[in-house]
Amino acid sequence: MPRNESRSYVKKDNFGTDGERPFRTFDDKKNTSRSTDSRPFRKREEGAPAKPYSGAPRPFAPKTSVMRSRKESNSVDDGKIRLNRYIANSGICSRRKADELISAGVVSVNGVPVSELGYKVDPAKDEVRYNGELLKREKKIYVLLNKPKDYITTTDDPQERRTVMSLVEKASRERIYPVGRLDRNTTGLLLMTNDGDLADKLSHPSYGITKIYHVELSKSLSQGDLNKIQFGLELEDGIIKPDSVSYVAGGSKREVGIQIHSGKNRIVRRIFEHLGYEVVKLDRVVYGNLTKKDLPRGRWRFLEEHELIQIKHLIK
């Protein structure tokens, strides 16, 4: 659903330097109501140590009514939880997909098929099966990967191309899968988990999870085109307006930093292609509250407890 364009902007001061390139907001002299934070999207020297991360961005908050309805739908009575949540917690799919399985009649509770959406189960007592296979609540695993180029963001590829799963195969015995996607040639942060409920919410547009990308173009971005991007472009699927965009300080005008909360397919590439630019490199350097600090390309790590708490806070 398109987001109201009158949404408040995220305060740029909340983005600390994490060894990547935080960026400055375009200084619009004609409209002083816009943020004019002049701190640059700094370019770090090759091999230089990463600076400590000092904060995390705050995403656009859902309306109170939306928050209330979600909290009510997630409520727990006498230890019971919704069946779709139990299925999502087993790691086989998201909660939304679980609703489809329930409606299809392939889920049973204590030997009885259940097709009622909203049905509740007791995780400590009830036996839930999918196509006859017993589902167990898995230990939750949260893995952050710095995706390299030429890897497909999928759990399996019929063309036998390299997938991100091969990079995290030693992370856990539990089945984990990517939250959202990055194009084959796009690098950077990718969260992987078996927490279907969390994955579903992070992917849902109503939560507006913030992403920051470093873009390298085939030619210099003109000031006029940068202004057009800042004020919003009308693409084939609607108007898109990034939270902020600017040149990378210390780099050429071919290097641009862009902050965006939209989850539309290939949205960053399409923004620049719409104006006649080819994206040579695209790197996601921030996802929600997560950064690439101390995480080399092609490597992964488990989320730290405080990171997990923060990212769950973003979707409440």
Q: What is the pLDDT of residues 101-127, one digit of tens each?
A: 999 999 999 999 999 999 999 887 889
Question: Which structure tokens are listed for 296?
Answer: 């080399």
Residue 183 catalytic? yes
pLDDT of residue 40: 53
Q: What stretches in the chain show pLDDT beneath 50?
A: 1-39, 50, 52-77
pLDDT of residue 78: 64
Asked whether 244 and 256 are in contact (CB, 8 A), the reply is: no
Residue 70 confidence (pLDDT): 45
Going from the C-alpha of 254 to that of each of 124, 210, 214, 219, 247, the distances in angstroms are: 57, 23, 11, 6, 8
Look at residue 73 in the predicted model and tell me its pLDDT.
43
- What CATH architecture does domain 13-28+38-60+139-316 belong to? 2-Layer Sandwich (3.30)
| Spatial contact of 210 and 11, defined as CB atoms under 8 Å apart | no
| Among 99, 183, 195, 200, the one annotated catalytic | 183
Token readout for 214 is 């470093």
Amino acid at position 255, single letter: E
For the chain, the first-to-last Cα distance in angstroms comes to 19
Could you give the angle at the alpha carbon of 177 between the alpha carbons of 173 and 179, nearest 5°? Answer: 145
- Percent of residues, the chain, with pLDDT higher than 90: 52
What pLDDT score was predicted for residue 237?
87
Domain ranges of the chain: 13-28+38-60+139-316, 73-90+92-134
Instruction: Find out if CATH 1.10.10.1100 is the number for domain 73-90+92-134.
Output: no
Q: How far apart are CA 6 and CA 28, in angstroms?
A: 17
